[in-house]
Chains A and B, each alone.
Chain A
Amino acid sequence: MLRLPRFEVATPKTVGEAIARLAEAGPSAMVIAGGTDLLPNLKHELFTPELVVSLSAIEALRGVRVEDDGTLAIGAMTTLAEVAASELVQKHAPVLAQAASLVAGPQLRTMGTLGGNVLLDTRCQWYNQTYFWREALGFCMKKDGTKCHVVEGGKKCVAAASNDSAPALMTLGSLLEFEGPSGRRTQAIDDFWLADGIYNKKVAHAELLTEIRIPPTGPGHRGAYGKLRERGSIDFPLLGVAARVDVVAERITRADVVVTALAAQPKRIARVADVLVGVAARGEELDRAIEAVAASAAKQCNPLANIPGDHEWRKAMVPVFVRRTLRAAVDGNGPVHGD
């Protein structure tokens, strides 16, 4: 069996205790939430922590609630299955419920958490492999080596953000609540990412993501998630598209499209609102506007051969999935998947 490296496990009962353990142990400690991303990576010797701090016993990090002002607050340790099945999430943030429902397969959604998915490590065909395989390759710049095998002579790691929840949360204008040795901070998810495949997130050591906060979405809020993958289950996205379309009085009042699994960070498609806001929510004008957004998205996205799969096909699918996902958002019949 492919083995885990040796490490100790701590199972603190409170956030404070977890932070203290992490701070005390220093960089040789890592956090484990559901374990569905971390443990395969440990088996691949991508990380070799001495201590793994499990958040599984911290009850305070679980659950979905709506606050008085309509903010949807989701504990970071809430599982993806719980997020997908939550009536509150389905009502206030359908794009997130749909994205969560399409992460991996049933068991992995029962284990994996929303916080863990937000913090998912970037992925690359030259990186998510065993130590033996990577050594035979001569390693890569993301781990143990210096070269990039995606872009020959490349200076920057282009491993792909592969978390389905991230683009969904971005269309919702979500806020990430962190707690660390120096206190709490709130981080807008839009500004959370770095264009660096080696580590694409602004998180300090010993900082814990405690909660994901989704500002109130009005009654006209609509959203959908589109996921391209080879199989109907288990697989990571080859392309993920989150679409938001708020409709008030039959007119679009807010629109947003964020794509993922193309580059190191999720990407907001530019000028979506410019094209869609003010457009009637049905008819030819909408069709033309959606087509224009799709065409514009195609120009803005140039996926590289970072993750396994045909990157030219992934590029060709950008306008198709942007169009279909926007359409599904307007019509309220997402997700877009499997056809």
Chain B
Amino acid sequence: MGALHLKVNGDELDVAAPSHWTLLEVLRYRLGLTGSKQGCDKGDCGACTVLLDGKPVLSCLTLAAMIEHRAVTTIEGLMPAHIANGGTGADPIQDCFDRCGALQCGFCQSGMMLSARALLDRVEQPTPEQVREALSGNLCRCTGYTQIFQAIELALADRAGTKPAPRAWEAPRDTEAAPRQA
């Protein structure tokens, strides 16, 4: 078991792990970075998505030995990077997911937020179609994706200093409007 030289969330690390271990296994069970999730075992769900040199990849289908010296970003890396860049608290993507209710069970969302982060880093004003396409390798079983799209719209609006389109939950509710009978 040789030592792997990994660069995770900016940290240069020497990690001992068997050579047949995936990056996901090394992250979760060697480095304790359990924010990257395992959902499908083999590249079908996207829950294990991390950024490799800024691009979303599946850590369950990446041998740790193949990505030595390349920059890995996990969900745990976003907030510290945001703070190091002068921000406060969570990364805007994380914050917007929370503000839009996009985190139901949350299990798929580490990967989802990293796919979203990469898109926003790459494209200044992505279209709704580009957003859907960029997230199409991350399965979510809770939300029906709607509040995820809204979270990304909110992050884009915040970045542009504009307001997002009104969301379903903001509509005025006609309380007790239920007709009494047929």
Chain A residues engaging chain B, CB cutoff 8 angstroms: 1-2, 4-9, 11, 32, 35-36, 39-40, 43-44, 52, 54, 56, 81, 104-108, 110-111, 232-234
Contact = CB atoms under 8 A, between A and B. Distances in A.
B38 interface: yes
Interface stretch (B42-50, B88-96, B150-158): B42-50
B136 interface: yes
A1 to B, nearest CB: 5
What are the nearest 10 A-B pairs in CB distance? A105-B137, A233-B136, A2-B41, A9-B65, A40-B42, A9-B19, A106-B137, A4-B20, A107-B137, A56-B66
Given A35-B63, A233-B137, A107 B56 contact: yes
Nearest to B61: A39
B137 A2 contact: no
A73 B77 CA distance: 38
A107 B57 contact: yes
B176 interface: no
A56 B66 CA distance: 6
Contacts of A2: 41-42
A9 B17 CA distance: 12
B154 to A, nearest CB: 22
A303 to B, nearest CB: 23
Contacts of B42: 2, 39-40, 43-44
Given A35-B66, A107-B57, A233-B136, A6 B41 contact: no
Contacts of A52: 63
Contact of B41 (A1, A36, A111, A232): A1
Interface of B: 18-22, 24-25, 38, 41-44, 46, 49, 52, 55-58, 60-63, 65-68, 115, 133-134, 136-137
A9 B67 CA distance: 12
Contacts of B38: 1
A153 to B, nearest CB: 32
A106 B56 CA distance: 8
A44 B115 CA distance: 27
Given A4-B22, A7-B19, A234-B44, A106 B134 contact: yes
Contacts of B115: 106-107
B65 A39 contact: no
B63 A107 contact: no
Contacts of B57: 107, 110-111
Given A5-B20, A43-B42, A232 B136 contact: yes
Contacts of A110: 52, 55-57
A11 B67 CA distance: 10
Contacts of B52: 110
A7 B55 CA distance: 27
Contacts of B43: 36, 39-40, 108
Nearest to B29: A1
Given A43-B42, A234-B137, 6 more contacts: A1-B24, A8-B19, A40-B43, A54-B65, A81-B55, A232-B136
A38 to B, nearest CB: 9
A185 to B, nearest CB: 27
Contact of B66 (A8, A9, A44): A9
A9 B26 CA distance: 15
Contacts of A35: 61-63, 66
Given A2-B42, A110-B55, A40 B61 contact: yes
A56 B20 contact: no
B72 to A, nearest CB: 13
Contacts of A8: 19
Contact of B18 (A6, A56, A111): A6
